[in-house]
Each structure stands twice: as structure tokens, then as C-alpha cells.
Amino acid sequence: MKIAIFHDYFGAIGGGEKVVIEIAKILNADIITTDTDALKKIEPHARIISIGRTIKFPPLKQISASLRFFFCDFSNKYDLFIFTGNWSHMASHRHYPNIWYCYTPVRAFYDLYSVFLSRQSFLTRLIFRFWVYFHRFVDQRSLLYIDNIIAISKNVQNRILKYYNVHADVIYPPVDTTLYKCIEYGNFWLSVNRLYPEKRIELQIEAFRHVPEELLLIVGGYSKGDHAATYVEKIRKDLPSNVTFYGEVDGDEILDLYARCKAHICTAINEDYGLTPIEAMASGKAVVAVDEGGYRETVTDETGMLVTASVDSLVRAIKQVSKNPEQYRDACLERAMDFDLKKFSEILRAVIFEMDIPIYS
């Protein structure tokens, strides 16, 4: 069976991009996308087909990606198509049979619409409303051609039901636990995320401003043409001396940072799922996360702390975990195995080749 995976773009390294690479390896599939900049850093030997670059200005980037997928045609070259990301399923009207492995319904269109709208100036607010009105319609229309939707978490499963009125099974994204190890509990906390407003990195920065004896290393970048540039410029101003932006790093270096950090922190708004807590736990490191979204499905009392999204709550958790970070190690390693790549591969193959129902339903 020849399989193609459609993915929006590889403009920055994130959990979604890592998952696409793993699916392609498991299914021996080609990847069809637009921008390929970050793909060279993740997997330079992937079989990749670019249908053209996007315009690096929001929302023209998102619109141009959607149009490229809508007008492309690989219908006679593959036996099955898998869509991932926010825009690639615009190709569903001529590419079938198909499956949409849904990371989330577009949050700017649905659950975070008011949040995104509030960030706009008067002029850009008009443009934003216009874009969402028409693009949301196209998004909904593309569902008419989707054969099956699989969600990455129960949190996303609920969003799909709420906004699309469609039931989706759940298959949690994987982490290859064999790649991770615990070398030490060093002198720094680690934060790994795309530098986007919905990640609420400012919360982390303010929390560590109140814990000057602890160090925070923030790893990650953002794609050109997304909504992040102004946000990144803002949070980089007036940084406390114990917080460092490390930028994007390659696979070996991020593995080493996980292996040597004291613990991990994540603060995204109602996170879809969250791959980084699993990566941290696979390294034997505790996770402090906000008590929202997908974090509730992965982080337990034995593997870290779930707290309210406030500076005070984060400060208390950072101080508590820092007292004895080693105590979480065994539980973290055990928990990470629930999301191991081998398990994901078995479930995915069953769904693709045997059409079994995923065990997480």
C-alpha cells in the first residue's frame, strides 16, 4: 500500500512535525508539504515532496498553504492519504480514502477565537474577522470529504465533537523512549515549546523571576509568517538574569538537555496534548504543568505537579519539586512507557491495515 502524509509546513521544530516523521517511518510513507526548512534539522533523509512555499505573512501564510493543498492532485499516485496539521485537509476533496490525524480544530477559529481577536489592532481585527469567517467555512466544508478522524487526545476529541459534531477515536502521539536517558539532575529547569502566545511563556519567566536561585532554559523557535514575532520580541525584554532563551536545537542536543535538566515546566493554554512532558518523563524528569487540557491526560501526582495558571502556583511548585527532583524518576520512566513509540506503531498499523478500533476510545 502506497501512503502519503499531507502536513502543513515544516517551518519550526515542534511535536507535530516529530509525529509526522514517526508516522512516515512506520508506514513507509511519503510526506507532502509546503515549506521544508525545519525538516532538514529533524529528518534530512525523509521522502519529501514540496508543493511550493508559503507567503511569510499572516494570514497569507495560512491562506497560501490552504490553497496549495486544495489545488494539488496526487489522487492517482497513492492508495491512502493521511492529513495532519491545520490546513492540509483542504486536499481531502480529491484525495481518498483518507484519515485526518487531527492535532486540533484550528484554535484561532474556535476555542481561542476571542483570544486571538483581542490581540489585534483595529485594522488587523477587521482582516482577522474576514479571514476567519471565510476560512472557517472552508474548514467545515472539507470535513464532508474526510473518511475518518483520529484525535491526538481526549481533549482534542472533545473539541472535534463540539465544533465539528463528529466522533473521533483517540491515538496518543508517541515518544521513542529508547532515545532518552537520565544523566543527572542539573542546575537548570527546561522549557521546550514553540515561542507562541498560547504557550504563555511569560508565566514561566515571571515565575522564575520570583525564584532567582533556580535557572530556566527556554528552548524553541517559531515559523516566519506566524503570529509569534511580536510576542517573542515582547517576552525577551527585561528578562531576569536566571532565564535564558536557547533557540532551536537539533535532536542530540535536546536529548542531552532533557538528560541533564532538573525538571521540566509547561504552561500552554488548554494544550491539545503536549509531547514535551512525555519527553521529559522519558528522561526521568518531573513535570510542572498548568492544570489544563492534555496535560491532565499525561501528568500525574507521581510524575510532577499540575497547578493553576498563576505565578504564585508555579513558584510553589518549582520550589517543591526542586527540593528532591530525583524522587519522581521511577514513576516518570514508567509513565512514559504508556506513550512509547512501539505501542503507537502497533495501534496505528492496526487502524491502517486492519481497521481495528483504537484502544484509547
DSSP string across 51-101: --PPPSSTTHHHHHHHHHHHH---TTT-SEEEEETTTGGGGTTTS-SEEEE
Which of helix, strand or coil describes residue 16?
A: helix
C-alpha cell at position 300: 500525574
Secondary structure of residue 181 in the 3-state scheme: coil
Task: Determine the 3-state secondary structure of 270 from DSSP.
Answer: coil
Quote the pLDDT of residue 361.
39
| Strands, sheet with 98-102, edge to edge from the N-terminal-most edge strand | 48-50, 30-33, 3-6, 80-84, 98-102, 149-151, 169-170
DSSP code for 340: B
- The sheet carrying 243-247 orders its strands as 243-247, 215-219, 188-192, 263-266, 287-290, 304-307
Determine how many CB atoms are found less than 10 A away from the CB of residue 118.
Answer: 9
Q: Provide the whole-model pTM.
A: 0.94
Q: Which domains does the chain have, with CATH numbers?
A: 3-174+340-354 (3.40.50.2000), 177-339 (3.40.50.2000)
**CA nearest to 33, candidates 5, 12, 13, 75:** 5
Amino acid of residue 173: P
CB 47 within 8 A of CB 78: no
- Smallest Cα–Cα separation from 148: which of 106, 96, 72? 96
Whether 90 contacts 101, CB under 8 Å: no
Per DSSP, the three-state class of 252 is: helix
Q: How far apart are CA 83 and CA 31, in angstroms?
A: 10
What is the predicted pLDDT for the residue at 251?
Answer: 84
Mean pLDDT, contiguous 10-residue spans, the chain (361 residues)? 96 89 96 91 87 94 97 97 98 97 98 93 92 97 96 98 97 98 98 94 98 97 80 94 94 96 98 98 98 98 98 98 98 98 96 60 39
- In this structure, the number of other CB atoms found within 10 A of the CB of residue 117 comes to 14
Give how far Cα 240 sits from Cα of 145, 209, 212, 213, 267, Å.
Answer: 50, 6, 8, 11, 18
pLDDT for the residue 353: 84
Looking up cell 496539521, which residue turns up? 85
Q: How far is the C-alpha of 131 from the C-alpha of 66, rounded, in Å?
A: 12
Q: Which three-class secondary structure state does DSSP give residue 355? A: coil
Distance in Å from the first CA to the final CA of the chain? 26
User: Cβ(7)–Cβ(33) under 8 Å?
Assistant: yes
Cell numbers at 132, concatenated: 476567519
Q: Distance between CA 75 and CA 62 in Å, rounded?
A: 23
Q: For residue 250, report the phi and psi dihedrals to the nearest 5 degrees.
A: -85, 180
What the block records as the C-alpha cell of 238 is 527585561
